Amino acid sequence: MLLVACRQLSGRVVHSALLSQHPFGVELDGASPPLSWQGTYRPLFTALQPAGLEQLGLSCAPLSVLDVDALVRHLPLLQVLTLYDGLELAALPFLRCLARLRKLCVGLGSMQGDMEEAWLNKAALKGALLVLCKEAPSLKSITLDLGGWGSASTLEAVIACLDVKLTDLDCPHPVIEIIGAEPSSSSTGEDSSGEGSSGGED
């Protein structure tokens, strides 16, 4: 039923100011692809292709390399892409193939296991972001939404290093922003000690 509904979008998606504020979304509640899809979301992206989407918000299981390969092949007109449940780090550089992509938002709040470890690997993360930043021709901004996931320190260190590297190369590159980080333990400690000091003075 989902694929039938997606195929019927052809010619019905109107690109307007309202749509730019509320991009077309597919909400699957983090569900993995059904067995009939052979473990990938390729059938979904194929069904969406006739709609010529320029903006998409996708909530499903984190995308794999095969999923992203299908996405860039079937939805080449995308300019704004929000992946609420993220993607494998190895799949991130493949988004550079979306020639019109201007804005990318990746949710990391559901990362677990090997996928989480990959995103916390500084060398791997820096390499993936560097490829995307250098080779995505239209990309202006990347937002990494931690959604309360872990600490932002690893991502912040990578982004700081990456910014210096790209600046040294003297090439335009997208702005990378981190949102949804939990308050650091040091900040919490400072607040607690401050409250304790005030109590002592009173």
User: How do residues 121-150 score in pLDDT, each as one tens digit?
Assistant: 999 999 999 999 999 999 999 999 998 776
Query: 72 pLDDT exceeds 70?
Result: yes
More confident residue, 186 or 86: 86
Three-point CA angle 141, 142, 148, nearest 5°: 140
Among 26, 19, 29, 23, smallest CA distance to 5 is for 26
Tell me what percent of the residues of the chain surpass a pLDDT of 90: 47
**CATH, domain range 38-197:** 3.80.10
Beta bridge partners of 179: 145
3-state secondary structure of 29: coil
Check: CB of residue 13 under 8 Å from CB of residue 44. no
pLDDT at residue 180, rounded to an integer: 86
Q: Which residue has the tokens 């309360």?
A: 148
Q: Where are the domains of the chain?
A: 38-197
